[in-house]
Amino acid sequence: MASTMSSAAKRPSRLFRNLSAKIASVPMILTALVVFVGGTLWTVLYSFTNSRLLPRLKFVGLDQYERLWATPRWLVSIENLAIYGILSLIFSLVIGFVLAALLDQKIRFEDTFRTIFLYPFALSFVVTGVVWQWLLNPDFGVQAVVRSLGWESFAFDPLYNSSIVIYGVLIAALWQGTGFVMCLMLAGLRGIDEDIWKAARVDGIPAWRTYLFIVLPMMRPVLVTTLVIIAAGIVKVYDLVVAQTSGGPGIASEVPAKYVYDYMFFAQNLGQGFAASTMMLLSVAIIIVPWAYLEFGRRR
Amino acid sequence: MRRTLKAAVLAAGTALGFTGAAYATDLEVTHWWTSGGEAAAVAELAKAFDATGNKWVDGAIAGSGGTARPIMISRITGGDPMGATQFNHGRQAEELVQAGLMRDLTDIATKGKWTEVVRPKGLLDSCTIDGKIYCVPVNIHSWQWLWLSNEAFAKAGVAVPKTWDEYVAAAPALEKAGIVPLAVGGQPWQASGAFDVLLLAVGGTDAFLKVYKDKDGEFAGGAEIAKVFKAADDARKMSKGTNVQDWNQATNMVITGKAGGQIMGDWAQGEFQVAGKVAGKDYTCLPGLGMSNALATGGDAFYFPLLKDAEKAKAQEVLAETLLDPKTQVAFNLKKGSLPVRGDVDLNSANDCMKKGLDILAKGTVIPWTDQLLSQDTQKQKEDLFSEFFAKPDLTVEDAQKRFADIISSAD
Amino acid sequence: MAMSQTLAADGPRGPKPRHRFSKRNIFIYGTLFVVAVYYLLPLYVMVVTSLKGMPEVRLGNIFSPPLEITFEPWVKAWATACTGLNCDGLSRGFWNSVRITVPSVILSIAIASVNGYALANWRFKGSELFFTILIIGAFIPYQVMLYPIVIILREIGLYGSLTGLVIVHSIFGMPILTLLFRNYFASLPEELFKAARVDGAGFWSIYLRIMLPMSVPIFVVAVILQITGIWNDFLFGVVYTRPDTYPMTVQLNNIVNSVQGVKEYNVNMAATLLTGLVPLVVYFISGKLFVRGIAAGAVKG
């Protein structure tokens, strides 16, 4: 009896403990529940319907998914995202880290170099796409210039060559994004205690080994932040492709986010678009959830 | 006068308002007409509407219907509709109408005797859902044109072709002269549209209808359509090296003689006009690729979302009437390069190509186009297929036809 | 912490490298120089092209400097380029962009900083779960959420209004910003917080009096990130507003995509530069603060 009473008395106090914090977190909770969870459930639910222009609850089972996986364009999109994702993850991390390490060598003009590497990040993907479309245009850009210098057979037209177009997109994406990665890395390097370098030097460990085996592991938090930001950008890549290639030539540079958008709004087939976005969410979830849980869920 | 005063007071009261013409009802009109010829044409509509004392607030969204339509649909379903919006008449707005979001124009249509003046008849039918009229057709566009650069053929030393077959035969000579025989821009709808035109020209009207109207998948995979795919394969080879995206950049290649020709709708005419080119002298047009005598009647139409504001609703009526006004029709269509939807207007100022089109229309060999026959979903799948086909030489004709047949079998 | 930060901000101190032309220095500066050229090339091409007349653009080489400098493309991009009937270039969108960006930046940062603070110092049951959901939310493509958001905004009656757009920006800025703020607040010495608690200070007073004054660096980062993100946004701006409040990026898209005959690359480039000017200026002015803030926010987890 006493125990039930005390627990009953405790319950409200537990609910009201940290009340201000809970009230302050209302926007976050609403966003998480209504927009992200609610919106996702809504999307998943309607992916089992044959909704066209407007959502309606006429269920058709897995039809949309069957069609999705039989669509060449979707398969090309997945493949492109895989190539683009892996390469852009590797390159932006490696280039970002190397640039940061170079800038961290007590060099002169560090500010100038840093600003140069960072400024593309200030530009939108639309701008990036337009500029690189222009640079890579075979009639005007790099190819035309090299040819006009006398190398007539020089060919560099990634945007008009189906088999390499995704690398053309990658070039532009790296140009836009590595500066930011470099900044994050630089910040991480600056957080490393000077004594560690001294100790490593005393022990005679070569610089590259110090970076690889001592400094990098110490930068874990910054690497995690970077990874989240890069990976989120990769999954969402859309504007760049639209501005640079519109998915062409043909369907050679299509990406999943664009498939979703095109089928939802252009083809006016919401069901198909939702099925595609559910597949995207699912693959993200499979990779991210366990990791996010380990990373953020139960520490401290 | 009284209303003017009231409106002026209201406008002054809203303080922040975008003044300028405080006395008129502002009506926002969204559309995707942003190329040179298109913008000139839409200016005519705005001028006519402004002359009624209202104000046309232009909501152009560039980048073709694919970019613009999602925005328009979001606005309408989101409960913040514009005053009027362009769609291609046909099936694009079907569900919006069924959801009760669009305004029923039947009364205005009866008053204006649209059923009598609008021609051909089929045009108003595609605006009609369950016996009620929901849109105002403003022009007739036909896709089935081949635009040829006389300059390019002169340079290659061959005669300007009169049929598709002659054109294919002339391709090597053009190539030798450093000219791209056929310009096909990178936007997916261009490849898909070009195929449809080939289907009508090479396959004939019956085949066209059997595929797109009856959705006969077996026929679409059969021998007759294989011929069309053979022609499409020729087109694909001829289009190599186009390297542009937008349709009017491709048209520009024809205008400047960098390309031999382009399969494009009659809206390309507007671009030739803006460039100061003369039909028959600088360029040649072949309706139906010189092989088919039927003209399809797609086109643009304006839809009017249901609005609560009575003033704006009134302005919608005025706009609907203005759009079909004979004077507006002539001014607009001359600039746009399309044909007017009224049979009773005087088109003496039309050029050679438009007259060819008018003749065919008068003879009545008119068929519905894919916008009316197929859902957007099917259209998009077709676009994906043909843009891949044109861009990827190693996609074989047989595979492409098989995929095409699949799309047709499941089409709606 | 504070010490190392100021140190970090001013870059590494210590003796200048002894051998100015050592192999190592040549390698470092050489690499940096080559990479810098790659990064600058597009900007150079943009600027050069935007100063050329159309005939020169068509004939010339994209890398060659203009033979005859003209500012006409800039004037055209700003004031007279047409989309449909509106021939007033980018100028229409500039103030709209400002009116969208300022409240969006303020609101999104206010929310995210409080989130981060609550998550770091006032954890309650389930708070980490919501945070995890938020982080996963960062991976959802915006396009997928377009339709549900149209419905949500319609239901609360904010569709088409500036307020609606501001809310949308706050929602989609939330994941990454919350992550940065949470990490930052977690890195502040816990003793400060505990001492304030002992003095009887509550949630808000600790936030306002202790946390805010200490978190200038991370606020700078957040402001920079949000200004860039929101200023550059096209999708939300076009879907959730109406033509009289379209941001500048919509005009940019319209100018770049409405081809009147030939593509006017010079005008496109000028328009591109004009649109990017605000974030660019923000970056050039605050580049140093940015790294300092990032160093403070991202390093500690």
Percent of chain B predicted with pLDDT > 90: 42
CA distance A120 to C35: 13
Instruction: Determine the 3-state secondary structure of A21 from DSSP.
Output: helix
Q: Are residues B63 and C263, on separate chains, in Cβ contact within 8 Å?
A: no
CATH number for the domain formed by residue range(s) A64-297: 1.10.3720.10
Q: Which chain B residues have a beta carbon less than 8 Å from that of A251?
A: 384, 387-388, 391
Torsion of the alpha carbons at C3, C4, C7 and C12, rounded to the nearest 10: 150
Choice between B281 and C259, residue whose per-residue pLDDT is larger? B281
Domains B26-141+298-342 and B145-296+367-409 in one fold: yes
| Amino acid (1-letter code) at residue A2 | A
Domain ranges (residues) in chain B: 26-141+298-342, 145-296+367-409
Q: Which of A177-191, B41-55, B106-120, C75-89 has the lowest mean pLDDT?
A: C75-89
- At residue A297, the pLDDT reads 59
Query: Shortest CB distance from A102 goes to which of C32, C137, C252?
Result: C32
Task: List residues bridging with B286 in a β-sheet.
Answer: B146
Q: What is the pTM of this model?
A: 0.85
Domain ranges (residues) in chain A: 64-297
Q: How is residue C14 written in tokens?
A: 């210590």
Q: Which chain C residues have a beta carbon less than 8 Å from that of A280?
A: 141, 144
Choice between B167 and B351, residue whose per-residue pLDDT is larger? B167
- List C residues 185-204 in contact with A (Cβ-Cβ < 8 A): 186, 202-204
Choice between B7 and C212, residue whose per-residue pLDDT is larger? C212
Instruction: Determine the 3-state secondary structure of B282 from DSSP.
Output: coil
- pLDDT (tens digit, 9 = 90+) per residue, A233-257? 898 888 888 888 888 788 899 999 8
Quick one: how far is CA A110 from the chain centroid? 28
| B218/A contact by beta carbon, under 8 A | no
Following DSSP, what letter does each residue of C230-247 receive, concatenated?
HHH--HHHHHSS-GGG--
Q: Are residues C174 and A175, on separate chains, in Cβ contact within 8 Å?
A: no
**CATH T-level fold of B26-141+298-342:** D-Maltodextrin-Binding Protein; domain 2 (3.40.190)
CA distance B25 to C268: 34
Q: Which chain C residues have a beta carbon less than 8 Å from that of A189?
A: none
Low-confidence residues in chain C, pLDDT < 70: 1-21, 60, 83-84, 258-262, 295-301
Q: Is the peptide bond before A249 cis (omega within 30 degrees of 0)?
A: yes
Distance from CA of A81 to the nearest CA of B (A): 18
CA distance B315 to B232: 47
- At residue B64, the pLDDT reads 63
- pLDDT (tens digit, 9 = 90+) per residue, A59-80? 998 999 999 999 999 999 999 9
| C141/B contact by beta carbon, under 8 A | no
- At residue A139, the pLDDT reads 77
Q: Which chain B residues have a beta carbon less than 8 Å from that of C156?
A: none
Handedness of CA B276, B280, B285, B287 (dihedral sign): positive
Neighbouring residues of B361: CB distance < 8 A, sequence distance ≥ 6: B119, B120, B140, B295, B297, B339
Please name which of C238, B13, C198, C212 lies closest in space to residue A239, comparing C-alpha atoms.
C238
Please name which of A77, A124, A48, A88 lies closest in space to residue A260, comparing C-alpha atoms.
A77
CA distance C34 to A99: 12
- At residue C10, the pLDDT reads 43
Evaluate if residue A24 carries a pLDDT over 90.
Answer: no
- At residue A183, the pLDDT reads 86
Q: Are residues A110 and C11, on separate chains, in Cβ contact within 8 Å?
A: yes
Residue limits of CATH 1.10.3720.10 in chain C: 93-298
Q: Which helix (H) or strand (E) holds B366?
A: strand B366-367
CA distance A202 to B294: 88
Q: Which chain B residues have a beta carbon less than 8 Å from that of C262?
A: 249, 252
Exposure on the CB side of residue C39, measured as CA atoms within 13 A: 26
- pLDDT (tens digit, 9 = 90+) per residue, A152-167? 888 888 888 888 899 9
Give all strands (DSSP E) within A107-212, no chain letters.
Answer: none
Q: Which chains touch C (3 or more CB pairs under 8 A)?
A: A, B
Query: Shortest CB distance from B70 goes to which of A137, A265, A272?
Result: A265
Choice between B17 and B130, residue whose per-residue pLDDT is larger? B130
- DSSP state at residue A116: H
Neighbouring residues of A296: CB distance < 8 A, sequence distance ≥ 6: C128, C131, C132, C135
| A58/B contact by beta carbon, under 8 A | no
CA distance A247 to B61: 20
Choice between B59 and B36, residue whose per-residue pLDDT is larger? B59
Write down the CATH superfamily of domain B145-296+367-409: Periplasmic binding protein-like II (3.40.190.10)
Please report which confidence band the pLDDT of residue B201 belongs to, taking 50, 70 and 90 as the band edges.
very high
Q: What is the mean pLDDT of residues B152-158?
A: 93
Contact yes or no for C38/A179 (Cβ under 8 A): no
Following DSSP, what letter does each residue of B138-158 receive, concatenated?
--BB---EEEEEHHHHHHHT-
Q: What is the mean pLDDT of residues A134-138?
A: 84
Q: Are residues B62 and C154, on separate chains, in Cβ contact within 8 Å?
A: no
Q: Which chain B residues have a beta carbon less than 8 Å from that of C150?
A: 74, 77-78
CATH code 1.10.3720.10 for C93-298: yes
Distance from CA of C227 to the nearest CA of A (A): 9
Describe the crossing of helices B223-238 and B188-198 by its angle, rounded to 10 degrees.
130
